[in-house]
Structure 1
Amino acid sequence: MKNNYPHIFQPLTLRGMTMRNRVAMMPMGSDFAGHNGELSDEHIKYYELRARGGTGLIIVENICVKYPEGSNGTTQLRLDKDCYIPRMFNLTEACHRQGACIGVQINHAGASAMSSRIGMQPVSASTLPSKPGGETPRPLSKEELESIAKDYAAAARRAVNAGFDLIEIHAGHSYLISQFLSPTMNDRTDEFGGCAKNRARFCRMIIDEVRKAIGPRVPISLRLSVDELVEGGNTVEDCLEYLEYLNDEVDLFDTSAGLNPTIQYQIDANYLEDGWRSYMAKAVRDKFNKPTIAIGNIRDPKIADDIIARGDADLIGLGRGLIADPDWCNKAKYGDVCDIRKCISCNIGCVGNRIGGNKPLRCTINPDLTEGESYKKKQVAKPCSVVVVGAGTAGLEAACTAAEVGCQVTLLEKKDEIGGLSVEISKIPAKKRLADFPTYLKHRASKLSNLTIKTGVDATVEDIKAYQPDLVVNATGSVPLLPPIEGLHENLASADASVYSIMDMIDNLDNYPEDLTGKKVVVVGGGAVGLDVVEFFAPRGAETTIIEMMPIIGNGLDASSTASMKECMSKHHVTQMVNTALMKVNPHSFLVKYDGKEEELPFDYGFVCLGMKAHTPIWEAIEQGFEGENTEVINIGDSVRARRIIDGTDAGRHLVLNTLERLGYL
């Protein structure tokens, strides 16, 4: 078998651990744990699947060393008692059997904990909260710090006993150690505050205690926010200074970025380039001549290989990329890059579900995080004809899934191209990664001989019946929502007006000047669609205003996207008008109403972005046309209700499989 990307796929030894390649799965919360912090069967299957996919080193999500004080989630894993060792051993054994090394990240949340969850006031270096508007923590005494250092050591000892090959100490991302290291959260005047050496003292204590507990053969990794990217926070140079006091006994530096207020750089926003953080790994590696992990939106194996080849880092850290495709390593090494289901950095099922949502980890483009592609083992027991109407992402997922289990599938698409709305939205520069998903689906479909795709077909019930289907899947998607507001329909995209929808903007992307200084842009609608418009025009210098009827802009966005939005609004001085209703659309102005007063907002470009609505031109006819016949009909994706890609992908996989199983075809 061929070996693509040779720099990634070479072994690396750290103390007593040898990894088969240079790819490490980064520790990411899953909310799979039980309420008591015990590892679940779901956890084991999730990590084992990534180990089987060829990952060199799995680093398990952060584990609480002191409960409840140090807990940072609703269902965080724990290792503060011996009773958690047996299940952890089951996990390490499962991953070892797949050829992977496995480490675990130990952590104390400090001020990032919530009193409503832990039942006490959070603790920290000082009284400074870990994020704007956060709870005021209680400063820890020296005696408490010494005790917590021993808690880290005890958790590390349990981890080694459970079979873990590496211990990672979390010293970044606004957790407790980070709260000592960062000047933004530490204003102490004793031996643990002030200069870099003092701020590093607590971390030094922990490293020393952990090393004593685990002995000389087990490597220690230290995760850092190398560049905090907040005003008054540590820069790369500041990090290199305090690391002079932490370098001893650390075998691997896991070089991350950002704090709570800059979470969009910690959990990379979609517009950030592949490998954008590698300069941080290189800075640490160059100074201390020790292995580093480079992370940061790395999706392309070529970019990952180049990072290793040019000496920026020794390991490539993949997080969401391995959520999206657990076989990333095997596909990169032996297969075709087009087979990789590349993460699109949407942050919906991973960040959005967990942070604030308190729901288990999910993925927009991977409908099954624990079973992977095992569904393909279920093949049809009798012939089954499936017709799918609509070749957006939901329809493509449905068609591919049905074909992969042996159905004869016909996919009908009205347009000349397949991929749907995702292809259109991906034309916006900041959304270009979105194109990777329909590209993957097209490639996947092209390999299925029992899947026929017909484009340019405005399907009718008679067309569908010609295929004698046993199952019809309607996936006709959504269109922009344009309510009956006075003047809207008359002025929208009129030659005599400057009023547009999101689709009008996309169709004219190449016609907008790079410099729009002095131009007025007004966007009606503060949801994801309206924000896409703002994030396109505001950086070009346009005087931008966004209007939202609700009290909040960006309602429902994940934490990373919310932080990106706020940064854009602040940096480019975007005017935000909430609790504001659109009353009338004029050719070159909007009449809006807020606080009982009306105001006219003139513009050079006005956009009405009030969301999307289900587009169901044929669904009613399908229901009626097959009534009383031995054909099952289902409606999926946006054509049920305009939602997100994740909902359509999930239905395209699971609703289709469950329907086939219910009907006795599987």
Structure 2
Amino acid sequence: MTEMLFTPKSIGSVTIPNRTVFLAHETGFAENGLPTERDAAYYRARARGGVGLIVGPSSMLVHPSASNPMYASGYDPEVVPRLRTIADACHEYGTKVFAQLQHTGGEDSGEFAMHETWAPSAVPTDFGYEMPKRMEIEDIEEIKLGFAKTAEHVKRGGLDGIELKAGHDGILRQFISPKYNHRDDRYGGSTENRVRLVNEVVEAIRNRVGEEFPIGIRFTLDEMEDGGYDYDYAVDVLRHLHPSLDFLDSDIATISKLYITDAPMHAPLGYTSEYYGAARAELDVPVIAAGRINDMTKANDLLEEGQADFIGMCRQLICDADTVRKVRAGDDDEVTHCIACNQNCLGGIHTKGHVGCIQTPRSGRETKIPHVEDLEDAPTAKRILVVGGGPAGLSFAVTAADFGHRVTIREREAVLGGQSNIATEVDSRQEFGDAVRNLRNQLNNRDVTVETGVEVTPADVDREAWDEIVVATGARERPPPLEGENVYRSWDVLRGDDVGERVIVLDNNNHAAGVGVAEQLAVEGHDVTFVTTAYHPGDRMEGTNVPPFLESLYEHDVELLTHTTIVGFDGDTAQLLNVYSQDVEPRAADALVVAERRESRNGLAAALRDRFDDDSVHRIGDCVAPRLIDTAIYDGEMLARELST
């Protein structure tokens, strides 16, 4: 039941049409310090998807001393018409929009603007390496004025309210924190003094926008750093905050602990509920819950239990912009649930330059990839054979069916899923399988023929029976560089091959495969040594995924040998080579498990192309070149769109 989730509730003078909130986050779309058409399209998609409140643009900077190319310069008057575009796009669907205001303080780099960073005290953060400048009183006055001017720009831009960021990063939290604020003037020493800047910022903003314009705060309820404040201190802060604040948006940890603030799938759903639930009991203003909430029934339960007043979702609505609309219409099986892989949301900012989602090619590309609902059916319904039921094949089949094609999938294994089924053999990565489950659920709602346990050979394909043939046969793990007795491929071990007690895992993959099989073996009770030439295990994974793996490996007493490879294994002894010192050390082991890179299974596609000698045969996903799951899903959807024009 989700009845309460869809009831209106007010924040200050503004009525939010339902209890769902799209939380603030980087998009990577800003250009020259201003929001762009891509921002407007991105937020518009979530408004169209039914969310009640959008907090964005995120981290609008209030002063030039905070410089980050990812963020809009809210202090620049040129931002006003850009904000108006965002407001109009969201208001079209009844969604309210609050801008988030921030000064990054010492938790940033001044290199972009060639300017020193500012902070309450000259205390370095665990996130960066620069020593910030201790702010002088005139600097503090400058920042207060910057917040006020930016707030005025927000109101002139037609947005509905403001969120001040004192969350996992930002100068407002740094002033609040005893770890970062060592001042002995009116802005330091006591809780009242440390909160003073926040309260003076609120007053400065009120003088510009009035008492009726909603102002709230995103606040970290526990810094979770050595020397940082805990929840009890946060409660004391809450009691000292300005009485005119209209809401609290809950946050935990700091940017140096991003694997906690934006926890990957190692963390359970709703992992922060004890924090916002406790804060809710302390406050008379609405509290926004946050922390891996991707299920609307659970979200409604949190409201019913009184743990929160609004449900904040970030990655779930990055993943599926239409989540709220689908659930409200009873189409729960159509929801693409976030799996917290962090590969294209957080990771996409650094690898692609913009936010995205591995499961949803359109996310972050709204100006380039139209919503399927806005497109007409294909001019001709084609008969299409898809060979391979992994992520690429499933993505193609779902999208092609949406365009009206008659699709048949043939998969050689007994179940759909491809390589994702291997990944889920690692206990901590089982949720990764939800990416395939989401596609299977959607497939079940479409008229697609699925044949499993069918091995397709070139002779099995009748050219006259199909208009198009899509080969999505994936990849296999490459053979280990060392052969012989007691040498195993990581995939075979995850599928059940029995290995002895003492196991060496050689990671030539450097992504999740190596750390995953090592963790699983350790959890099962093996004595594991992990060997990699990299600087740390899993060094090609998205960053927030690495610390939970490291914590688990250390917890299970896995020996970690970096800068190391194996140059020989005779069945019971490995020769370990340090790639920098060139020293060789023998190590006894009952088995060597090698996590290798992959190679394409492209023989069927090549044979069909030779046989038919036309352009009816297409390859997608790893059988073109082994990559990550996002490209497989992208390949599938984009080919389906291409064949439908």
TM-score between both structures, scaled by the size of structure 2: 0.93
Residues 19-34 of structure 1 aligned to structure 2 (within 5 Å): 19-34=16-31
1:538-590 Cα deviation digits (max 9, x unpaired):
56776543211234432222231133344445555543322211222344443
In the alignment, is the contact (CA less than 8 A) between 2:605 and 2:617 conserved in 1?
A: no
Q: 130, 133, 139: which one pairs with 1:138?
A: 133
Distance 1:143 1:68, change over 3 A: closer
Find the aligned partners of 1:109 and 1:544 in 2 and give their Cα distance.
42
Matched, 1:117 2:99: no
| Cα deviation, residue 466, structure 1 | 4.7
Find the aligned partners of 1:257 and 1:86 in 2 and give their Cα distance.
33
The residue type equivalent to 1:505 in the other structure is L
SS at match of 2:281: helix
SS at match of 2:58: strand
Find the aligned partners of 1:432 and 1:323 in 2 and give their Cα distance.
21
Partner of 1:69: 65
Partner of 1:51: 47
Q: 554, 562, 585: which one pairs with 1:599?
A: 585
Find the aligned partners of 1:136 and 1:295 in 2 and give their Cα distance.
31
Residues 74-89 of structure 1 aligned to structure 2 (within 5 Å): 74-89=69-84
Question: After alignment, is 468-477 or 306-315 more displaced?
Answer: 468-477
Distance 1:372 1:173, change over 3 A: farther
Partner of 1:530: 514
In the alignment, is the contact (CA less than 8 A) between 2:468 and 2:617 conserved in 1?
A: yes
Q: 593, 602, 620: which one pairs with 1:616?
A: 602
The residue type equivalent to 1:390 in the other structure is G
| Cα deviation, residue 166, structure 1 | 1.6
1:45-94 Cα deviation digits (max 9, x unpaired):
1111111111011111324334542133x332222122211121121112
Matched, 1:657 2:626: no
The residue type equivalent to 1:362 in the other structure is G
Find the aligned partners of 1:389 and 1:376 in 2 and give their Cα distance.
29
Partner of 1:504: 493
Q: 208, 211, 223: which one pairs with 1:213?
A: 208
In the alignment, is the contact (CA less than 8 A) between 1:428 and 1:506 conserved in 2?
A: no
In the alignment, is the contact (CA less than 8 A) between 1:274 and 1:296 conserved in 2?
A: yes
Matched, 1:390 2:405: no
| Cα deviation, residue 149, structure 1 | 1.2
| Cα deviation, residue 505, structure 1 | 2.5
Find the aligned partners of 2:64 and 2:519 in 1 and give their Cα distance.
40
TM-score between both structures, scaled by the size of structure 1: 0.90
In the alignment, is the contact (CA less than 8 A) between 1:31 and 1:358 conserved in 2?
A: no
Matched, 1:483 2:465: no
In the alignment, is the contact (CA less than 8 A) between 2:107 and 2:128 conserved in 1?
A: no
Matched, 1:414 2:409: no
Distance 1:599 1:276, change over 3 A: same
1:634-666 Cα deviation digits (max 9, x unpaired):
2211112221110111111113323x2xxxx52
Matched, 1:575 2:559: yes
| Cα deviation, residue 190, structure 1 | 3.1
Residues 72-471 of structure 1 aligned to structure 2 (within 5 Å): 72=68, 74-132=69-127, 134-354=129-349, 356-357=350-351, 359-369=353-363, 370=366, 371=369, 373-374=371-372, 377-449=375-447, 451-466=448-463, 468-471=465-468
The residue type equivalent to 2:353 in the other structure is K
Structure 1, unaligned stretches of length 5 or more?
Answer: 493-498
Find the aligned partners of 1:243 and 1:540 in 2 and give their Cα distance.
45
1:122-150 Cα deviation digits (max 9, x unpaired):
11122222225521111111221122011
Find the aligned partners of 1:472 and 1:103 in 2 and give their Cα distance.
48
Find the aligned partners of 1:119 and 1:340 in 2 and give their Cα distance.
45
In the alignment, is the contact (CA less than 8 A) between 2:475 and 2:623 conserved in 1?
A: yes
Partner of 1:496: none
Distance 1:327 1:648, change over 3 A: same
Find the aligned partners of 1:173 and 1:162 in 2 and give their Cα distance.
27
Find the aligned partners of 1:164 and 1:78 in 2 and give their Cα distance.
16
Question: After alignment, is 24-33 or 115-124 more displaced?
Answer: 115-124
Find the aligned partners of 1:351 and 1:119 in 2 and give their Cα distance.
25
Find the aligned partners of 1:604 and 1:177 in 2 and give their Cα distance.
55
Find the aligned partners of 1:117 and 1:358 in 2 and give their Cα distance.
19
Matched, 1:584 2:568: yes
Residues 28-43 of structure 1 aligned to structure 2 (within 5 Å): 28-34=25-31, 36-43=32-39
Distance 1:86 1:414, change over 3 A: same
1:17-67 Cα deviation digits (max 9, x unpaired):
111111100011111121x12221111111111111110111113243345
Partner of 1:645: 629
1:504-563 Cα deviation digits (max 9, x unpaired):
23537xx99xxx9xx654321143211113443556776543211234432222231133
Distance 1:657 1:64, change over 3 A: same
Find the aligned partners of 2:74 and 2:623 in 1 and give their Cα distance.
46
The residue type equivalent to 2:55 in the other structure is I
Distance 1:554 1:177, change over 3 A: same
The residue type equivalent to 1:651 in the other structure is D
